[in-house]
Amino acid sequence: MKLLVVGGAGYIGSHTVRQLRAAGHEVVVLDNLTGGHAQALPADVACVRGDLLDAEAVRTVLEAHRPDAIIHFAALIEVGESMGAPGRYYCNNVVGSLNLLDAIVQTRVVPLVFSSTAAVYGTTDNVPIPEDAPLHPESVYGETKLMTERMIQAFHAAHALPFVVLRYFNVCGAAPGGEIGEDHTNKTHLIELACLTALGQREKMMIFGDDYPTPDGTCIRDYVHVQDLADAHVLAVEALERGQMSAATYNVGLGHGFSVREVLGAVDAVIAEEGLPPLPREIAPRRAGDPPRLVADARRIVEDLGFQPQFTDLKEIVRTAWEWHRSHPHGFEG
Ligand code: UFG
């Protein structure tokens, strides 16, 4: 198949481009390169620099490349930032996605895989969280993803747009080999920060709250490896191409969680293999908006698409992240 990967130069997008190519698909990337990195893409993948807010440019790309299917990653992704800059988030994530949907209808309706998030659920006691749990996003970021899901459903109803929505839990790790990995402008993710602390770029790790109602008092999350997540996109787009389904929403996670302390323990174990001391850490107040426990009910994607995560061992997951950060201490630019 020929795939257009929108936002393909980002963290999850670039891992998906690799997995699509490994599965024998042809790939064209559309990316504005504000959050993504051209260096994250194989040299022989065509990368068109363009922004979803430029409706004319989006239509031109679709007409020029005539993809068989589209995977849409392009978005602003920071929960905290979205609360202070709602206009930017609604414009970029919702208007940008609307331009893409309009362009699809104006050129040729082809299957769409959309990158959504567990943030659409908000805080819930219903853990592990099934796809049909109530949707109450607590951030502007989560709201923009839910609005886009709803636009996609409306385009499905009106224009027979086939789609799969993937709701990611905590994405982490890097492709084994350390060639590409996580490199966001603002670093907020637990494993990335822990690796940068091990490299001496941060003084210590803060544990945001140790008084949660969990076994060790710290928050529990479902950490899914970015390469497994990339494989989920390949499975989704291939299932759409086969006509196996025309409208589906899946959680992507392992279906079990790890606490902040367990994650930091795994990082300690990995860096100890190189003789590094345990990470300095300090208990800090709870971070606003962090639910105690977010774990996916991931059975639907396993049953429907045969999703089979390869990275289920926390230490192995952390090791891939560490390999990337150790070999690229300043990310792609370094
Ligand atoms: N944490 C710390 N110290 C840190 C960083 C994080 O204790 O320095 C804790 C957080 O409080 C949280 C856990 O580690 O309990 C994981 O935090 P991350 O920032 O790595 O990830 P989040 O769970 O906040 O966010 C993820 C995705 C978001 C998505 C959200 C859905 O990154 O895009 O899940 O709930 F919106």
Kindly report, residue by residue over 131-148, the tens digit of the pLDDT: 999 999 999 999 999 999
CA of 188 to the centre of ligand 1 (A): 7
Average pLDDT over residues 112-121: 97
Q: How far is the CA of 163 from the centre of ligand 1 (A)?
A: 28
* 89 C-alpha to ligand 1 centroid (Å): 19
Q: Does residue 334 have a pLDDT over 80? A: no
pLDDT of residue 288: 82
* Cα 222 to Cα 309: distance, rounded to the nearest angstrom: 13
* Position 333 confidence tier, pLDDT thresholds 50, 70, 90: confident
Regarding whether 163 and 52 lie in a shared domain, the answer is yes
Same domain for 62 and 192, yes or no, is no
Q: What is the pTM of this model?
A: 0.97
Q: Which residue has the tokens 């990611």?
A: 168
Please indicate, yes or no, if residue 304 is contained in any of the structural domains: no
Q: Which of 79, 129, 220 to mutate to test the pocket of ligand 1 (most atoms within 8 A of CB)?
A: 79
Whether residues 211 and 318 share a domain: the answer is yes
Mean pLDDT of the chain: 97
- pLDDT computed for residue 132 by the predictor: 97
Residues 13 and 86 in one domain: yes
Total domains in the fold of the chain: 2
- Hunting for tokens 């940008």 — which residue is that? 96
CATH code of the domain containing 53: 3.40.50.720
Q: Which domain holds residue 146?
A: 2-170+224-252
Q: List ligand 1's pocket residues with C-beta within 6 A.
A: 77, 79, 117-119, 170, 188-190, 193, 205-208, 219, 221, 260, 287, 290, 294
Chain segment 14-67, per-residue pLDDT in tens: 999 999 999 999 999 999 999 999 999 999 999 999 999 999 999 999 999 999
Q: Is residue 301 part of a domain?
A: no
291, part of any domain: yes
Q: What is the mean pLDDT of residues 159-172?
A: 98
Are residues 34 and 16 part of one domain? yes
Of all helices (H) and strands (E), which one includes residue 99? helix 96-107
Are both 186 and 242 inside the same structural domain?
no
**Domain for residue 211, yes or no?**
yes
- Please determine, for residue 289, whether its predicted confidence score (pLDDT) is greater than 90: no
Classify residue 321: in a domain, yes or no: yes
Categorize the per-residue pLDDT at 110 as very low, low, confident or very high, splitting at 50, 70 and 90: very high
Q: What is the CATH number of the domain that holds 271?
A: 3.90.25.10
Among 11, 141, 168, 250, the active-site one is 141
Shared domain for 122 and 190, answered yes or no, is: no
In the chain, the N- to C-terminal Cα span, in Å, equals: 34
What pLDDT sits at residue 125?
86
Which pLDDT does position 13 carry in this prediction?
A: 98
Pair (113, 196) in one structural domain: no
Please report which confidence band the pLDDT of residue 291 belongs to, taking 50, 70 and 90 as the band edges: confident
Domain shared by 147 and 241, yes or no: yes
Average pLDDT score over residue span 298-302:
98
- Asked whether residue 333 is domain-assigned, the answer is no
The percent of residues above 90 in pLDDT, for the chain, comes to 95
6 and 57 housed in the same domain: yes
Reported confidence tier of residue 290, pLDDT bands at 50, 70, 90: confident
Residue 107 lies in a domain: yes
pLDDT of 169 reads 98
Query: Do 177 and 51 share a structural domain?
Result: no
Among candidates 5, 35, 30, 31, which has minimal Cα distance to 18?
A: 5
Q: Would residue 151 count as lying in a domain?
A: yes
Residue nearest to atom 14 of ligand 1 (CA): 190
Rounded to the nearest angstrom, the distance between the alpha carbon of 171 and the centre of ligand 1 is 10
**How far, in Å, CA of 249 to CA of 259, rounded?**
26
DSSP-derived 3-state class of residue 93: helix
Lowest mean pLDDT among 80-84, 110-114, 268-272, 294-298: 80-84
283 and 135 in a common domain: no
Ligand 1 atom 11: residue of nearest CA: 208
Q: Is residue 141 flagged as an active site residue?
A: yes
Three state DSSP letters for 140-205: HHHHHHHHHHHHHHHHHHHHCCCEEEEEECEEECCCCCCCCCCCCCCCCCHHHHHHHHHCCCCCCE
